[in-house]
Amino acid sequence: QVQLVQSGPEVKKPGASVKVSCKASGYSFNDHYIHWVRQAPGQGLEWMGWINPSSGGTNYAQKFRGRVTMTSDTSISTAYMELSSLRSDDTAVYFCARDGSEYLFLYMDVWDKGTTVTVSS
Amino acid sequence: EIVLTQSPAILSLSPGERATLSCRASQSISSYLAWYQQKPGQAPRLLIYAASNRATGIPARFSGSGSGTDFTLTISSLEPEDFAVYYCQQRANWPPLTFGGGTKVEIK
């Protein structure tokens, strides 16, 4: 079945970087963009950007430009999201989600359960 | 950036009742709106896309309507598993894609 599986929880100090992975299975990884969305504790959903796995093209929310890097490795059907210069307000659950179409649908039809990133000194 | 405002913040209803959730956009977004359901500790699940189209496997008791700036998600008869938080999301004007603040449907 179609599935995304993310890496495990992370604890980082302020100023550090974190890299979260998202491994896809059950479909053609190259054919669907991958979005990254985060959710701070008790808060709503915040879109961070997307990556086109086959071309490596990206589009980031302005808020994260300069701090976020999204990459992909098609040989292992895995997408990555790296966030640098971490602050305490980056503490959140980070989700990867599949775009719902091969043509950049911009709705997200498959999600993993998320990776908790805690930023604390 | 398009702001989505959801109301009410909390909706207290009993199983079997009808739920009506609202999402209002700060400017017209045509029909470029989706609805997601999120249960505690879980990822969001896509329910409705393009304002009124049910996603694969979503029960018929979920329906979406609206266009322009005003949208509604209706659950015709609440099942126990429907008590959750619901988010709307727009894709009309991006980046960024934006989400509403959510409506929690709780058991009365």
Report the pLDDT averaged over residues B86-102: 96
Q: pLDDT category, B52, cuts 50, 70, 90?
A: very high
CA-closest candidate to residue B32, choices B74, B4, B60: B4
Query: What is the structure's pLDDT at A103?
Result: 85
What is the rounded distance in angstroms from the CA atom of residue B42 to the CA atom of residue B1? 27
Report the pLDDT averaged over residues B29-54: 97
Report the pLDDT averaged over residues B64-85: 98
Residues above pLDDT 70, as percent of chain B: 100
Name the minimum distance, in Å, from the CA of B76 to any CA of chain A: 23
| B2 SS3 class | coil
Report the pLDDT averaged over residues B52-78: 98
Taking one residue from A and the other from B, the number of pairs with CB-CB distance under 8 angstroms is 61
Per-residue burial over A45-69, b if 16 or more Cβ lie within 10 Å, else e, is: bbbbbbbbbeeeeebbbeebeebbb
> pLDDT at residue A102 above 90?
no
Query: What is the structure's pLDDT at B74?
Result: 98
> pLDDT at residue A81 above 90?
yes
- Cβ distance A106 to B97 less than 8 Å, yes or no, reads yes
Residue A24 CB partners (closer than 8 Å, separation 6+) = A3, A4, A34, A77, A78, A79, A98
Mean predicted lDDT score pLDDT of chain A: 96
> pLDDT at residue B33 above 90?
yes
Q: A64 to chain B: nearest residue by CA?
A: B96
> pLDDT at residue A105 above 90?
no
Pairing label, strands B70-75, B62-67:
antiparallel
Report the pLDDT averaged over residues B14-21: 98
| A63 SS3 class | helix
- Cβ distance A100 to B97 less than 8 Å, yes or no, reads no
| B82 SS3 class | helix
- Cβ distance B99 to A63 less than 8 Å, yes or no, reads no
